[in-house]
Amino acid sequence: MEQTIHWGILEFEQGQIYIAATPNGLCYVGSPEEDFDYMVKRFPAADFAENAEALEPYARELKEYLEGARTDFSLPVDVKGTPFQEAVWTALREIPYGATYTYSDIAEKIGKPAAVRAVGTAIGANPILITVPCHRVIGKNGSITGYRGGIAMKQHLLELENVQSKG
């Protein structure tokens, strides 16, 4: 059975991003560098329907965050991955606004201290940018490292949260 995913476009100061939700919650937040096809590739068995009305609560919370008026999200998310990925994504949601963790910190938090590289891979597979705040994970030396949305977007999100970073 095909799942229907409602999608829309969120316009904000730095451009526009695709967002999508199932009836169970937000399932995708893209970046200004990602087009519609990128979103579709993440959910190959889904039926996509543009529906700005269904996405309005999600778009409102994201826009408030991007405008500096919100520090956390209250609406549900619907993310599916391997048990390891889901553990990493849960740990990411526990990083407080304005704080950063390292990849090693996340590996420790999920009880897999030797799995630092796998943590990085799971973070890279995060389908919900911003809401599952992978931008808050930085290199051990404090440097801004890879981000699906691009380093400029990651830097912007960290600056929005008043995070002072090295590099």
Tell me whether residue 162 is exposed, middle or buried, using C-beta atoms within 10 angstroms of its C-beta: 0 to 12, 13 to 18, 19 or more: exposed
Question: Under a CB-based contact definition with an 8 Å cutoff, are residues 74 and 64 in contact?
Answer: no
**CB neighbourhood size of 122 (10 A):** 25
Is 27 in the active site? no
The one-letter code for the residue type at 61 is E
**Cα 31 → chain centroid:** 9
Q: 138: Cβ–Cβ under 8 A, 6 or more apart, which residues?
A: 100, 101, 102, 144, 145, 165
Give which of 161, 162, 87, 150 is closest to 118, Cα–Cα: 87
Choose, from 59, 88, 134, 153, the residue flagged as catalytic: 134
Measure the CA–CA gap between 149 and 145, rounded to whole angstroms: 11
Catalytic residue numbers?
134
